[in-house]
Every structure is written in C-alpha cells, then in structure tokens.
Amino acid sequence: MGWMSKYIDFGTVTVSGNEVKVFSTSQGAYTTIYVKEEVVNASWSGDIVNVTLKSGKVRQYKTSQTYSTL
C-alpha cells in the first residue's frame, strides 16, 4: 500500500516543525506525517515522500505512517 494517487498527482507538501502536510486538493485537504524530530525538508520522489531530518537522516514515507530510514 502506498500514497493514493490524489496526493501524488497534486504533489504538494509543506513542513512545519516536526510535521509534514501532504496535500490532495487546492481546497486545503491534507494528511499529516508526524515526526519525532525536527524536519528540514520534504519532497516527492515518484510515489514516496522523502523527509530530511535536522539530524541529517532521510526517511522515505510510503504512507503517512510507513517509512524506511536511509
């Protein structure tokens, strides 16, 4: 299971502290990825959201709760 196409197609993510909002519409619908560390960047790579942490680690989120650390 991965991100639904409505998120991938819209393609917008924003970062605020330790949260990443993954948007699905221009009307403001989104899902939040909660991270225990401060996030410095987040971006799409195909159907995965890459999240760069302040510690320098990168997590690849396949869903809002499923990730692997690089």
3-state SS class at 25: coil
Rounded Cα gap, residues 44 and 5, in angstroms: 12
For 31-65, the pLDDT digits (tens) are: 999 999 999 999 999 999 999 999 999 999 999 99
> What CATH number does residue 29 fall under?
2.40.10
Q: Is 26 left (phi over 0), alpha (psi -120 to 50) or beta?
A: alpha
pLDDT tens per residue, range 14-28 = 999 999 999 999 899
Residue 37 structural domain: 5-69
In angstroms, rounded to a whole number, what is the distance separating the alpha carbons of residues 36 and 25? Answer: 26
pLDDT at 1 over 80: no
As for how many domains the chain has, the answer is: 1
Model confidence, pTM? 0.92
